[in-house]
Amino acid sequence: MEYDNNKFDRDISADGKKPRSRFMKASDSDLGGPDADIYTPAPAPAPAPAPETPPIVLEVMPDARDTSAEYTEPADPAEAPSDGARVKLSNEEKKRQKQLQREAKKAKEMELAEKLENDPIRSFTNYKKQKRKKRNRVLILIIIILILALLLVGGLLALKYFGVIGENKPEETTSEKKETEENYFEWTFEEGVLTVSGRGTMPDYEGEYVPWKAHRQDIVHVVIEDGITNVGNCSFRYCENLVTVSLPDGVTRIGDRSFTDCDSIESITLPDSVTNIGAWAFDKCDSLTKVNLPESLTTLGTGAFNECGSLESIKIPENIRDIGQDAFNNCDRLTEVDIPAGVKYVGIYAFYCKDLEDIYFGGTMEEWSEFDRPHNPEYTTVHCSDGEI
């Protein structure tokens, strides 16, 4: 049986030889004789060896572990166990481990600080920050000192204002007696009546500080007995409920601001012994409607009856010589005033009253012209002995 060899031939190889077919006819030499008619298939090529696969190793963890104990990684990796198990540390080892961690952290901080210190830009910035912080601390300290000083001064003033410290410390009782070689005075307060008695002049006070300060709002009547010759400065200031005042014949002077802001006084009669009414003595006595000025009066101080808005009439005595500035300023209910010829001085704005229509002056126009704007020419006409202004 013959086969078609061309049917099973492969492509010619690169060397030009025709490769041997898998079913090639065996030669005589291969079969052992010329007459052999036996065909043998070509041997199959050996398969390529399979790649080696690394063995799979399974790591078996223990089934039961003590979870109640606290574990941590050892500080030295060389000391770590090879099987991956955790190490249970004692208290001393824990403390040692924390100490090592703190030392390592501190070493890193020191290293970073050294780097920053060697950096000129950062060093200059840190220097400016430190300088600014120091300046701010100094400013805060100065502000605190100033605040404490203000609080101290304010406290001292408050204590003095409310009568806790100072020379004129008021007594807690309702009476007081002061005596010197030349004069003395004492006072009592009972049922709205303040009585002052003694010999000579009353003390002068400053501001609101008076011995009867605690009773000031309860004073309704003031009685000054014989023997007192001078009403002290600011003696009855701010007695807002004071209605009547009784003065003895021996009083010669009414002190500065002695009755300022006594809103409830409606009338007052001054004894014939009074020669001087101090500055702002009856300032802002809003309810005052009538004042009897004695013939003995020679000096009327600055602002003596300033802003007494209810004052309706006033008679200037013949012996008066000086009328201070603002003496009757803003006494808007005054309509006319008589001023004697003997007056030598009338201060500025002494009679600036919007409803004051006429002033009758006993002197000449020339004499009145020497005074510095005592009246408002828009509202008031001055009638002098030789004409009108």
Please work out, in degrees rounded to the nearest 5, the angle formed at the alpha carbon of residue 28 by the alpha carbons of 24 and 32: 115
Instruction: Give domain limits for the chain.
Output: 128-166
Name the pTM for this structure: 0.56
- Residue 341's identity, in one-letter code, is A
- Segment 241-270 mean pLDDT: 94
Beta-bridge partners for 381: 358
Give helix 91-118 / helix 120-161 axis angle, nearest 10°: 100
- Segment 218-228 mean pLDDT: 94
Q: What is the pLDDT of residues 340-385, one digit of tens each?
A: 999 999 999 999 999 999 999 999 999 999 999 999 999 999 999 9
Q: What are the residues whose beta carbons fall under 8 Å from the beta carbon of 317, sequence distance 6 or more?
A: 293, 294, 295, 296, 297, 340
Q: What is the pLDDT of residues 24-66, one digit of tens each?
A: 444 444 444 444 444 455 555 666 565 565 555 445 454 444 4
